[in-house]
A and B are shown apart, each in its own frame.
Chain A
Amino acid sequence: MTDNTLLSINNLTTHYVTDEAIIHAVNRINLELKTGESLGLVGESGAGKSTTAYSIMGILPKLTGKIVQGEILFQGKDLTRTSEEQMRSIRGSQISMIFQDPMTSLNPILPVGDQIAEVLEIHGTGNRKEAMEKAGNMLEMVGIPKDRMHEYQHQFSGGMKQRVIIAIALACNPQLLIADEPTTALDVTIQAQVLKMIKDLRMRLGTSLILISHNLSVVAQLCENVAILYAGHIVEYGPLRDVFSNPFHPYTEGLLNCIPRIDVDKKRLSPIRGMMPDPSLVYEGCVFKPRCPYAEDICGLVTPGISEPAGRKVMCLMYQDLMPNKMSIDKAKGKIND
């Protein structure tokens, strides 16, 4: 672990325990974020993206959510062993999170300015008057005129609400911002405005970012590194350009092949066959095996570890010399690509 590591997640496993079943939401994942870095977490519903974020923030549902093993080191401090009281002082000041739906994230009966000031007051940044003044500045920073700070959320459009939420999240100048599908509920032109704003603010404030999205193109706009999640596992992790231009894991390849693209003409999409596995069951071998076009018998017997080809982390037996790497053979033959 180097000096500028901000967050380091080691072997994290998070379960949801109900009367009927244990949901294996996140399984032994490892992530590392350096100060100033932006990391994208990509995957389909049920991949464990949000659960990873909730685990970091310590906001898993109290009755069911449980971190079973592993550690989350934030500036060297293990958040899984931090008291709720201490977590409360970290949340909002050192780590902030913005959620998908701007329509339900704001308090409808409090003017937006007060909601920004509230964070500043709670985390002890000056008195009420100073907090309100800073709140006004924060609004200006996200592109909303200061004089609208006494208005309520219903007076703002969806894109404006998400700007207010970003202002709240960044008010205390946190080291880490976790954005969970921040633009999914927004129209594409408004999405572009918000993405551009997040990017500019990050440059200005030096905030590290974890961006959660199912949309690969959105992640491509903001992130240097990307982790591809499937059924609670990080199946591929590395520099975003490399992962997107030359995927190593069969799931990453499948994901890239099945999306229609603006910049590439495809006659026909290549869906990934089958569906996500039931997260309440424990699987022998690789979780992706039932859907994998390259799978062999051994994939159902041996659980793949993490290999590190070309500076990337990949969870697949093809990179462990346990079976021939059919992906790279196919690529060499030029069979891949539509």
Chain B
Amino acid sequence: MTEGKNLQPILSVENLKKYFQTSRGSLHAVDNVSFEIQEGQTLGVVGESGCGKTTTGRTILRLIEPTSGTIRFDNIDINNLPKNDLRLIRSKMQIIFQDPYSSLDPRKTVAATISEPLVIHKRVANKRELRERVLALMEMVELEERLYSAYPHELDGGRRQRIGIARALALEPKFIVCDEPVSSLDVSVQAQIINLMQDLQDKLKLTYMFVTHDMAVVKHISDEIAVMYLGQIIERAPAKELFEHQIHPYTRALIAAIPKMGANLGDLTGTLKGEIGSPIEPKPGCRFAPRCDYCQESCTRADPPLQDLGAGRYVACWRASEI
């Protein structure tokens, strides 16, 4: 999917930070994150709960205002954009949410939900045109025409997620943040939605940022993967290479922890010790140090930078060259 395309980043994020103020101090949800996504590609963002993957996605769309950092989309610095201009850019950047049960308005029909962005952004001249556009979008996501006036409660999870996708596509975006879009679906339906998303990407030249905790799904759908731990990207690599060879000890443990179908009874080696630390007022130094087998005193002095190792691989570990 990646070869032969004119690669240029459609999105580039530099030193993005989002700190939330809590009664116990500043919570570093996203802490100095930088990456870019090439047009037409999928960046998978993985990590466990609390690693900041969802906040990163929402901050990029400015659904959450970043604390600092630059976000350039199509060469426009959207972090300093006034609200009005932001609205124009937003039509090019959309989001698909995890839970198709709570992300749809239960009082709106399928047609009303899909047409809302078209009406708000005045993309249609009259009702007839609106109906045609909605029907075309429904066809694109393979929703039956008879469901035009149905309500979300009449539909199963897979169809609801199709509505979410149709709504996200209504304004012809270039970039979509997909926040756990298949996590609440059964596997047979999950496969239908993943295939649909891949087909739409090819057809409409979409760029995805695919946020998930499911390593098998992310491996399947991504060109490149960024692994997050406590608000930071600790490793980034082309998808295939990452699964073949992990450099960061956390990535290694994360991939080792995934139960594999072929593995022997209880073949769970390399179980990671301890639990994820607190993102509130984190101490300087590597965030993973307390759980890391390779940790040295020097690891806790300063945050390891995300170093470029060439061939599309990046890692944030002080001891990357030794281990």
Contact = CB atoms under 8 A, between A and B. Distances in A.
Given A159-B275, A187-B213, A192 B268 contact: yes
A244 interface: yes
Contacts, number: 121
Nearest to A258: B191
Contacts of B240: 265
A218 B259 contact: yes
Contact of B271 (A44, A196, A216, A270): A196
A262 B189 CA distance: 19
A64 interface: no
A269 B220 contact: yes
A67 interface: no
A220 B219 contact: no
Interface in B197-252: 198, 213, 215-217, 219-221, 240, 243
A44 B186 contact: yes
A221 B219 CA distance: 21
Nearest to B158: A275
Given A188-B48, A220-B261, A260-B194, A196 B266 contact: yes
A327 interface: no
Contact of A262 (B186, B195, B219, B276): B219
Contact of B48 (A187, A217, A221, A261): A187
Interface of B is mostly: helix
B187 interface: yes
Interface string A236-274: 000000001000000000110011111101101111100
A159 B48 CA distance: 13
Given A224-B265, A268-B195, A262 B215 contact: yes
Interface of B: 48-49, 156, 158, 186-192, 194-195, 198, 213, 215-217, 219-221, 240, 243, 253-263, 265-268, 271-272, 275-276
Interface of A: 44-45, 157, 159-160, 187-193, 195-196, 199, 214-218, 220-222, 224, 244, 254-255, 258-263, 265-266, 268-272, 275-276
11 contacts: A187-B48, A188-B215, A189-B48, A191-B257, A217-B260, A217-B263, A259-B191, A260-B194, A261-B260, A269-B220, A276-B186
